[in-house]
Amino acid sequence: MAQNIYDQAEFFAAYSQLGRSLAGLDGAAEWPALQAMLPEMDGLDVVDLGCGFGWFCRWARENGAARVLGLDLSEKMLARARSGTSDAAITYEVADLQHLALQEGGFDLAYSSLAFHYVEDASRLYAQIHRALRPGGRLVFSTEHPIYMAPTSPGWASGVDGRRIWPLNRYLVEGPRTTDWLAPGVVKHHRTLGTTLNALIAAGFRVTHVEEFCPTLDQIAAQPALAEEVERPMFLLVSAVRG
Amino acid sequence: MAQNIYDQAEFFAAYSQLGRSLAGLDGAAEWPALQAMLPEMDGLDVVDLGCGFGWFCRWARENGAARVLGLDLSEKMLARARSGTSDAAITYEVADLQHLALQEGGFDLAYSSLAFHYVEDASRLYAQIHRALRPGGRLVFSTEHPIYMAPTSPGWASGVDGRRIWPLNRYLVEGPRTTDWLAPGVVKHHRTLGTTLNALIAAGFRVTHVEEFCPTLDQIAAQPALAEEVERPMFLLVSAVRG
């Protein structure tokens, strides 16, 4: 089973205070870019892999999705998600993405926000998603960017020219990365961008868009701390179609 | 016109002494990985974009290509290439990839090694290549990896934990990068990996393989200096098919 860091009290408490937890989709700087990669929701059967508090599930229904299944490893997250809606077309279930088993051909859209980097075997995950999508169905997801995840000391530093630098190393050494984020000992699984794309292609997907998230000038003006994000990408956004 | 650094005497003299210039394809660590992405050469019409001394053009013919067109901006490179073969099925011509105009539907394979990062308008280039390929034709190329190209001070440094790091910054700021490589003032054009892939997709290509070059253990054993290459990718290798 995958590490269930979200159900640890310390982590859950800290996570609940993040902008993206309090303000929902609009609290995530990368949401507008991810939203632009989504198809029209009208009439779609949608699965959200790592749904958290259910912000996206509710958004999908508000925008016309026929049915939304929200999956998460965390009982605490799901309890909060369930308390946020009485919509009978939204279902929340406990699921471990590492051992995912979805209804074959049951969905038009698989969506995931910042969950796949917790999954060790991405090839198995992509194959399961491919099988669960109808022909022409889409997978749209965000994940931590491998540049962000790779380093032995992932934090800003100063370069020889005095400029802010991201101390990249171990980029081509794939495998687990243990960091202290909200709680100590959070395990993520580092894969190169090439590995991610090749695994999607091997699973039968056609890659249609690859975005290394960069805040817009408007976003930086509204939230100056985002300026440093231009130095290295924190998020990778991918759209792929089942052929 | 693109900068023609290769025809500057100082650059050309230094370039001629590189392992990949002296030993040909086998002098390039990434060649086995790039070769594995190539189709069978039998009967193919091939264009090599930035052919340099013509090593790949000759290899393609030796492996069964029907006809090979080698293009390069540098007269000096082409003179050396022409002197290396008497094969009438290989043609060498001066061409600026920034203003490329190829015969429509004239080729089965477009190949390029470490030339595209000198081209400012990659979208125009990919559209020209797409037009020049027959349906089902392939584009296989290597380019400097954007991680390698982006930084303001692109050289190894030491991190807070004492480990070797690559001081990444300006990754999401696309545009020219001027470096001193073999000669001062070499201009390359930095694009994110996402931009490169999206431009290929927009031109009508289906991306089939993306590889961020990593030396094999055998290569590192034979050439220990390659060990540092696992810290950050130097080369990006891409294969795409005209749909």
Quick check: B239 and B138 in contact, CB under 8 A?
yes
Nearest by CB to B161, which of A152, A208, A229? A152
Contacts of A199 in chain B (CB under 8 A): none
Distance spanning both ends of chain B, measured CA to CA = 30
pLDDT at site A210: 98
CB spacing of B147 vs A160 below 8 angstroms: no
pLDDT at site B1: 65
Half-sphere exposure of B177 (CA within 13 A, CB side): 27
- Top residue of B156, B191, B193 to mutate, by most chain A CBs within 10 Å, is B193
CB spacing of B160 vs A173 below 8 angstroms: no
Summarize pLDDT for A78-125 with one digit per residue, the tens.
Answer: 999 999 999 999 999 999 999 999 999 999 999 999 999 999 999 999
Find the mean pLDDT for residues B94-111.
96
Contacts of B229 by beta carbon, 8 Å cutoff, 6+ apart = A172, B29, B213, B214, B215
Judged against a pLDDT cut of 80, whether residue B129 lies above it is answered with: yes
Instruction: Name the domain count of chain B.
Output: 1
CB spacing of A167 vs B167 below 8 angstroms: yes
Q: Supply the ipTM of this predicted assembly.
A: 0.96
Quick check: A59 and A144 in contact, CB under 8 A?
no
Q: Looking at residue B209, which CATH number applies to its domain? A: 3.40.50.150
Closest chain B CA to residue A214: B172
Please report whether residue A223 resides in a domain: yes
Q: Nearest-CA distance from A235 to chain B in Å?
A: 12
CB spacing of B155 vs A159 below 8 angstroms: no
pLDDT at site A183: 84
Please report whether residue A157 resides in a domain: no
Domain that holds residue B24: 5-242
Residues in A whose CB is inside 8 Å of some CB of B read 147, 151-153, 155, 157, 159-161, 163-173, 192-194, 197-198, 201, 206-212, 214, 229-233
Token pair belonging to A227: 């300026």
CB spacing of B207 vs A229 below 8 angstroms: no
CB spacing of B161 vs A173 below 8 angstroms: no
pLDDT at site A1: 65
Contacts of A155 in chain B (CB under 8 A): 160
Nearest by CB to A233, which of B164, B172, B214? B172
**Residue segments in chain A with a per-residue pLDDT below the cut of 50:** none
Please report whether residue A118 resides in a domain: yes
Nearest by CB to A161, which of B152, B164, B229? B152
Find the mean pLDDT for residues B145-162.
96
pLDDT at site B180: 86
Task: Give the H or E element holding residue A93.
Answer: strand A90-94
- Top residue of B232, B235, B242 to mutate, by most chain A CBs within 10 Å, is B232
Closest chain B CA to residue A148: B168
Please report whether residue A37 resides in a domain: yes
pLDDT at site B19: 84
Spatial distance between the Cα atoms of A53 and A56, rounded to a whole number of angstroms: 8
Tokens 């910054």 correspond to: B169
CB spacing of A230 vs B160 below 8 angstroms: no
Spatial distance between the Cα atoms of B219 and B225, rounded to a whole number of angstroms: 10
pTM: 0.97
Closest chain A CA to residue B239: A198
Judged against a pLDDT cut of 90, whether residue B100 lies above it is answered with: yes
CB spacing of B194 vs A173 below 8 angstroms: no
Spatial distance between the Cα atoms of A186 and A6, rounded to a whole number of angstroms: 10
Summarize pLDDT for B224-240 with one digit per residue, the tens.
Answer: 999 999 999 999 999 99
Nearest by CB to A214, which of B166, B172, B193? B172
CB spacing of A231 vs B171 below 8 angstroms: yes
Q: How many CB pairs below 8 A link A and B?
A: 135
Please report whether residue A27 resides in a domain: yes
| Residue count (chain A) | 243
Contacts of B165 in chain A (CB under 8 A): 151, 153, 157, 167-169
